[in-house]
Amino acid sequence: MFLQGGCCYHLSLSLLFLVLACSFYPRPLFANATELLYDVVSYGAKGDGRTDDTDAFLKAWEAACSAHTPDDLQKQTPVLYVPKGKTFLLQRLQFNGPCTSSSIHVQISGTLMAPKSLESWKAGCQDEWIGFERVNNLKIDGGGRIYGNGPIWWDSENFRRMLKLHACDNLQLHHLEFVDSPKNHLSIGGSKGADISNLHMIAPGESPNTDGINLAGVSDIHVYDSNIGTGDDCFALNGGCSRINITNVYCGPGHGISIGSLGKDGLTETVEEIYISNCTLNGTQNGVRIKTWPGGRGHAKKITFHDIVMLDSYNPIIIDQDYCNGKAKCNPGSTAVEIRDITYSDIRGTSRLPSAVSLNCSTVGDGCKNIVMDNIHLETTGKDFDGKLVYATCINAQGTARDVVPPVKCLSSHEPLVF
């Protein structure tokens, strides 16, 4: 072969150089018949909890998001893989789409850790630590942990959301642990369609602004089988939310489940078709709450709270149509966010305060209309007001009540007929 002008020799050298060159560029692994794996370690991540692995994650995302699968592998989904047993120190991460593939999977099996000091934060005034935007058909799971190093932020005013997803339709989010977020643990906005389950969110009850799940401008969202204990709302459903289903969630500590606040600074905001069921609220500042600002416009309607257990909650059922965020006085305003078609059914448990039900509806306009209460039984725990019976307060609310303790006298009583 060497007698032919050395052609074979030169060909072998060219092939050798090609093999060596290719070895320096990470290539996706075949996780299974339907997935291509992009391991962040293959892109330079150390996972030792000390080295900044931000660039490696961004490189792995760029490769996965822009992946072109061969014709015979069109059904394979790119997977950004974060391996188990490693801790990845990360600055701000922004994962943008749209991606080449019709779907993409982020498997977090290890631990993602935020910077350990305010001084080491390099992202300036950015409002979130990890963000996804315009990534449709995104699946995030893996059983790993997202640790926000929240205590270093809680005494400052520069809070950061931990994980924010915007304009991510048809989201799947499962089996993750969120710990000590600087601000909201999970924020989802401007999106349609999400299936969310088996999330565990942990932060001290006194940690400020650490909402569990914060939703705004979203529709067709199902959250279930999760445990949320933080220092603020377990759920905050803000303007633009519709067709939200929350089922089998344990909440506490925290501020409970909140619709709103809506209508601040005269805004027009709407929330509708919300169904919250089979939930337990333990030691929360509020139970189930609807709050709107005076002077706002829009509506909160077609909202159902069903099969809810209250354990030592301070304010189990509350509507506040004159919400002022703790201020003693608010400008009364000439308008109010409409509140109507609200149903409370099969709610039971204990109230830390005697005032177990508070319907504080605005005297502007019609107040709260078509409030339905059915099969509600609340009593005091006796911890702070030993011997006092629970009671309900009611201003400008209209509706019906059946088998409700404490009695809500401003609502019409519809007792069952006895033959």
- At 127 the pLDDT is 82
d(Cα 151, Cα 35) in Å, to the nearest integer?
Answer: 38
pLDDT digits (tens, 9 = 90+) for 23-80: 444 656 555 546 799 999 999 999 999 999 999 999 999 999 999 765 444 568 999 9
d(Cα 57, Cα 93) in Å, to the nearest integer?
Answer: 8
| Low-confidence winner among 26-40, 80-94, 351-365 (lowest mean pLDDT) | 26-40
On whether the CB atoms of residues 344 and 394 are closer than 8 A, the answer is no
pLDDT digits (tens, 9 = 90+) for 149-191: 999 999 877 778 999 999 999 999 999 999 999 999 999 999 9
| Low-confidence winner among 111-115, 119-123, 227-231 (lowest mean pLDDT) | 119-123
Catalytic residue among 105, 166, 255, 299: 255
- At 145 the pLDDT is 98
Q: pLDDT class for 5, splitting at 50, 70, 90?
A: very low
pLDDT digits (tens, 9 = 90+) for 267-296: 999 999 999 999 999 999 999 999 999 999
CB atoms within 10 A of CB 328: 5
Class of the 244-418 domain? mainly beta
Q: Domain extents for the chain?
A: 42-217, 244-418
Instruction: Assess whether pLDDT exceeds 80 at residue 397.
Output: yes
**Could you give the maximum distance between any two Cα atoms of the chain, in Å?**
112
Instruction: Assess whether pLDDT exceeds 90 at residue 341.
Output: yes
161-166 and 29-32 beta bridge pairing: unpaired
Class of the 42-217 domain? mainly beta
- In 3D space, the residue among 231, 159, 164 whose CA is nearest the CA of residue 202 turns out to be 231
Q: Is 299 a catalytic residue?
A: no
Q: How far apart are the first and last CA of the chain?
A: 107
Average of per-residue pLDDT across 238-265: 97
